[in-house]
Amino acid sequence: MKEDIRKLIESDITGYKINKETGISESNISRIRSGKIELGSISLDNATKLYEFYKKHKEDIKPPQV
């Protein structure tokens, strides 16, 4: 689960899209992406939302373009 959430967080899917489907604020998504909030420190509720989002969209999740 944690590795799948990491793939989502590191993907190029916008914080806006994640926010609209999960209800997790764009600022929290941004803080997770920037490392200000560690992935292991997010609430169980948010982890569940992010994991469900990942499962729904895993075909669309690609690593960020370097």
> What is the average pLDDT score of the chain?
93
Residue 55 has pLDDT above 70, yes or no: yes
Question: Does 47 fall in a domain?
Answer: yes
Question: Does 65 fall in a domain?
Answer: no
Tokens of 16: 């806006």
Residue 35 has pLDDT above 90, yes or no: yes
CA-wise closest residue to 5 among 23, 18, 20, 21: 18
- Number of structural domains in the chain: 1
The pTM of this model reads: 0.89
Distances (CA, A) of 16 to 23, 24, 27: 10, 9, 10
Position 62 scores a pLDDT of 78
Q: With bands split at pLDDT 50, 70 and 90, how would you rate the model's confidence at 60?
A: confident
Classify the phi-psi angles of 53: left when phi > 0, otherwise alpha if psi is within -120 to 50, otherwise beta.
alpha
In terms of residue numbers, what domain contains 46? 2-57
Position 64 scores a pLDDT of 66
